[in-house]
Amino acid sequence: MTGASPARAEAHHHPAGTAPDRWDVIRAIEPVVGDNLDLLVPIERAWQPTDYLPDLEADGWRDEVERFRRSAEAISDDLLVVLVGDMVTEEALPSYSVALNGLVRDTEGTSPAPWARWLRGWVAEENRHGDLLNAYLRLTGRVDMRAVERSIHHLIANGFNSGSQADPYNLIVYTSFQERATRISHANVGKRAGREGDPQLARICGMIASDEARHETFYTRMMGEVLERDPAGGILAFRSMLRGLIAMPGRHMHDGRDPDLFDHFAVVAQRIGVYTARDYASIIEHLVRAWNIAGRSVSGAAARAQDELCQQADRYMRLAERTSAALARQPPVAFSWLRDRKA
């Protein structure tokens, strides 16, 4: 080999058969992160929870609150339980921001680096989701807010483990998955709220879902960038995250009483079609396509992982057919959140 061709320079960094260092790749895509910071909405144009709540400073605040509560009476207990579970999950944002700093590695807290600016902007946008849902639920007067708050307290104290094992690719795969999952879930709650007769909750969930959609776009794009630079590593990471079921961020929620609280919440979400096993399979299918997994040229272990990934969605879809029926048969259970009304 002679001369310093680009191919040779490349080979110098990644000799044939050697995987590039994953942290080098994360640093290499930092300029692309910078180019995608416009997926955050400028604060001057961003919505705030107040925009969707009764104005308590207005002269007619009593009437506004009255109207708000009357509209919320239309919501079924099933939908209310799912909304509480979604809200508790959103309220554990402190845990997710800690987890994602494992990717971003901002040791100062105010780093001007693109990854760090993304993380702060993302947390700031996400922070409104729990705030708004919390305020909505409180104003309905239909939920035992102390039981809900205790569940949030437990969830944050119990912690959150994405299963990423401190690997940066795994974290991006995980977050791409979860942003899409939350978008689907909030969007479905919103649609159902509209059908049940509460347009204000439909609007709220629609706004939150549109945030999740922008966030999903960001993480999915960044994983696409990783795959361009390190297809084998990216495919192996995606495969390793799908070895088990993708961990749900709220799965350690607890109300001090029901040891299966998360599962009970998840069963209701499945039953009313807000977030189902089929949605889970459809997210895998989407990501395999979005990341062009089938079209990547890889060999060895990565090629085997590629084959597995391409069959994964079908396998989950078949699994979903079986589990959906079983889940639908689960009897309603009493929720502390609803003062023991069943859902």
Catalytic residue list: 47, 90, 126, 129, 179, 182, 211-212, 215
Q: Which stretch binds Fe ion (CB under 5 A): 47-55, 82-90, 231-239, 304-312?
A: 82-90
Q: Which is nearer to Fe ion, 100 or 338 (CB)?
A: 100
Number of residues written out for the chain: 343
Q: Which residue is nearest to Fe ion (CB)?
A: 129
Q: Which is nearer to Fe ion, 36 or 306 (CB)?
A: 36
220 half-sphere exposure, CB direction, 13 A CA radius: 22
For the bound state, the minimum distance from the C-beta of residue 90 to Fe ion, rounded and expressed in Å, comes to 5
For the bound state, the minimum distance from the C-beta of residue 39 to Fe ion, rounded and expressed in Å, comes to 12
Q: Which stretch binds Fe ion (CB under 5 A): 28-36, 123-131, 262-270, 332-340?
A: 123-131
Q: Which is nearer to Fe ion, 198 or 212 (CB)?
A: 212
What are 71's two structure tokens? Answer: 């509209």
Number of residues that bind Fe ion (CB under 5 A): 7
Q: Mask 163-192, x = binds Fe ion (CB under 5 A)? A: ----------------x--x----------
User: Residue 282 burial (CB < 10 Å; 0-12/13-18/19+)?
Assistant: middle
- In eight-state DSSP terms, residue 39 is G
Residue 225 touching Fe ion (CB under 5 A) = no
Helix intervals (H) in 141-242: 145-158, 168-196, 199-229, 231-241
Distance of alpha carbon 165 from alpha carbon 13, whole angstroms: 25
Kindly identify the residues of this chain, within the stretch 86-105, that bind Fe ion according to CB under 5 A. 90
Q: Which is nearer to Fe ion, 246 or 327 (CB)?
A: 246
For the bound state, the minimum distance from the C-beta of residue 206 to Fe ion, rounded and expressed in Å, comes to 13
Q: Which is nearer to Fe ion, 223 or 309 (CB)?
A: 223
Residue 126 touching Fe ion (CB under 5 A) = yes
Which of 54, 72, 114, 129 forms a contact with Fe ion (CB under 5 A)?
129
H/E element holding 70?
Answer: helix 61-72
Kindly identify the residues of this chain, within the stretch 26-65, that bind Fe ion according to CB under 5 A. none
Q: Which is nearer to Fe ion, 217 or 323 (CB)?
A: 217
Query: Which residue is listed with tokens 């508790």?
Result: 88
Q: Mask 279-318, x = binds Fe ion (CB under 5 A)? A: ----------------------------------------
In sequence order, what DSSP letters do the residues of 80-131 get, joined into one string? Answer: HHHHHHHHHHHHTHHHHHHHHHHHH--SSS---SHHHHHHHHHHHHHHHHHH
Q: Which stretch binds Fe ion (CB under 5 A): 165-173, 213-221, 247-255, 291-299?
A: 213-221
For the bound state, the minimum distance from the C-beta of residue 118 to Fe ion, rounded and expressed in Å, comes to 13
What are 76's two structure tokens? Answer: 């079924």
Cβ within 8 Å of residue 31, ≥6 positions away: 114
For the bound state, the minimum distance from the C-beta of residue 131 to Fe ion, rounded and expressed in Å, comes to 11
For the bound state, the minimum distance from the C-beta of residue 127 to Fe ion, rounded and expressed in Å, comes to 9
Q: Provide the terminal-to-terminal Cα distance of the chain, rounded to the nearest Å.
A: 70
Q: Burial code of 130-141, b = ≥16 C-beta within 10 A, e = fewer? A: bbbbbbbbebbe
Cβ within 8 Å of residue 219, ≥6 positions away: 172, 175, 176, 179
Which residues here bind Fe ion, judged by CB under 5 A? 90, 126, 129, 179, 182, 212, 215
